[in-house]
């Protein structure tokens, strides 16, 4: 099993390097000259050359990439053009809010989706199964931002039950129970799609496992439903864990529209702001951190798999 851990870590290294190359290339993939956001329109050639030298843009691309990578690995992602503050400072304030939102949404999606999937898998082909599957398909199909707008219109504008924007956290950054109301609508919005995906995955796993020969043998031996369910859970746990890890990563990296709808001060809103302001260092740094976080989450899930799947331990 130790060799499996080493292989997974080694596989993650080239993926992480590819992520750094893509993030570095954002400066050149973006339309226009990256210096336009830094320099005034009437800047002299002398000033342009000076700024190019300061940002390392006067060097060949490979040298620029190595310089950027060295700084990034040291935690220096440059300064935001819009605020003038360090990019790491901006991301540090936002990533905690996004992580809180993603963990709560993923936990809710995993719990609800798993329960629905197990119930539908046990009653495959029934009206109950079709109804739950329809709900899951609706959750996967409805766009996040549209669902968020509808929830705001109903629960905030019409019923005035819940706040529609912001986090409710004051400048000191401390949370209280009063701020929980600000989490409800974003969490519900974000959890709809992964709940549908988890439900469909778990339903297929349960239905397939119940048709296995070993389950038929357990029933023939007179084993109780509780004991059979424990065997069933052991078989579906590895795949369900993998789905959970992937969805958590997607929620961290793909919540830009939802955070914009609710003005939630996370990395999604930060990315939206960076795009609108053409703040290349902030955009570059945020995507870099989120991408590495996604790679890291998938690596953790891969490393946890053998503990839930005895077949991987034996191999």
pLDDT at residue 1 in the model: 64
pLDDT tens figures, 54-103: 666 677 778 878 888 888 888 888 777 777 788 888 888 888 888 888 88
Q: What pLDDT is attached to residue 250? A: 75
CA atoms of 158 and 154, how far apart (whole Å): 5
Q: Does residue 146 carry a pLDDT above 80?
A: yes
Q: What is the pLDDT of residue 263?
A: 78
Read off the pLDDT band of 44 (50, 70, 90): confident
- Across residues 276-300, what is the average pLDDT? 80
Q: Is a pLDDT exceeding 80 seen at residue 110?
A: yes
Residue whose tokens read 């495959």: 124
pLDDT at 315: 53
Lowest mean pLDDT among 96-110, 115-129, 146-160, 220-234: 220-234
For 24-89, give the DSSP string. HHHHHHSSS-GGGGTS-TT--HHHHHHHHHHHTTTS-HHHHHHHHHHHHHTT---B-TTT-SBHHH
H/E stretch holding 209: helix 180-210
pLDDT at 55: 63
Instruction: Give the pLDDT of residue 169.
Output: 62
CA–CA gap between residue 259 and residue 261 (Å, rounded): 5
Report the residue count for the chain. 315
pLDDT band at 175 (very low <50, low <70, confident <90, very high): low
Calculate what percentage of the chain has a pLDDT beyond 90: 0
Q: What is the pLDDT of residue 24?
A: 78
- Give the pLDDT score at 308: 65
Least confident of 89-98, 107-116, 174-183, 191-200: 174-183
Instruction: Tally the C-alpha atoms within 13 A of residue 75's C-alpha that lie toward its C-beta.
Output: 4
Q: What is the mean pLDDT of the chain?
A: 78
From the CB of residue 287, how many other CB atoms can be counted at a distance below 10 Å? 18
Across 200-207, average pLDDT: 85
In which band, very low, low, confident or very high, does the pLDDT at 278 lie, cut at 50, 70 and 90?
confident
Q: Highest mean pLDDT: which of 23-32, 195-204, 229-238?
A: 195-204
pLDDT at position 208 over 70: yes
What pTM was computed for the model?
0.76
């Amino acid at each position: 099993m130790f060799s499996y851990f080493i292989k997974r870590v080694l596989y993650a290294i080239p993926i992480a390097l590819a992520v750094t190359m893509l993030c570095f290339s954002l400066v050149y993939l973006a339309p226009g000259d990256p210096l336009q956001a830094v320099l005034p329109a009437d800047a002299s050639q002398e000033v342009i050359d000076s700024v190019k030298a300061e940002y390392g843009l006067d060097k060949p691309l490979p040298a620029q990439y190595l310089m950027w990578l060295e700084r990034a690995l040291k935690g220096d992602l440059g300064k935001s053009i819009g605020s003038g503050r360090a990019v790491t400072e901006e991301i540090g304030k936002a990533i905690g809010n996004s992580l809180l939102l993603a963990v709560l949404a993923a936990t809710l999606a995993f719990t609800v989706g798993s329960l629905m999937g197990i119930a539908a898998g046990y009653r495959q082909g029934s009206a109950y199964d079709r109804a739950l599957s329809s709900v899951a398909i609706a959750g996967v199909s409805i766009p996040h931002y549209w669902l968020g707008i509808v929830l705001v219109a109903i629960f905030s504008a019409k019923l005035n039950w819940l706040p529609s924007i912001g986090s409710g956290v004051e400048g000191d950054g401390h949370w209280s129970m009063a701020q929980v109301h600000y989490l409800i609508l974003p969490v519900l919005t974000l959890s709809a799609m992964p709940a549908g995906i988890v439900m469909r995955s778990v339903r297929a796993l349960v239905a397939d496992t119940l048709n296995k020969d070993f389950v038929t043998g357990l029933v023939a031996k007179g084993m109780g439903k509780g004991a059979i369910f424990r065997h069933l859970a052991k078989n579906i746990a590895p795949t369900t864990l993998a789905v959970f890890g992937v969805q958590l990563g997607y929620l961290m990296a793909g919540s830009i529209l939802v955070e914009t709808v609710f003005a939630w001060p996370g990395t999604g809103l930060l990315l939206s702001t960076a795009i609108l302001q053409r703040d290349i260092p902030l955009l570059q740094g945020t995507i870099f951190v989120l991408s590495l976080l996604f790679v890291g989450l998938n690596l953790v899930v891969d490393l946890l798999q053998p503990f839930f799947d005895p077949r991987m331990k034996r191999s």
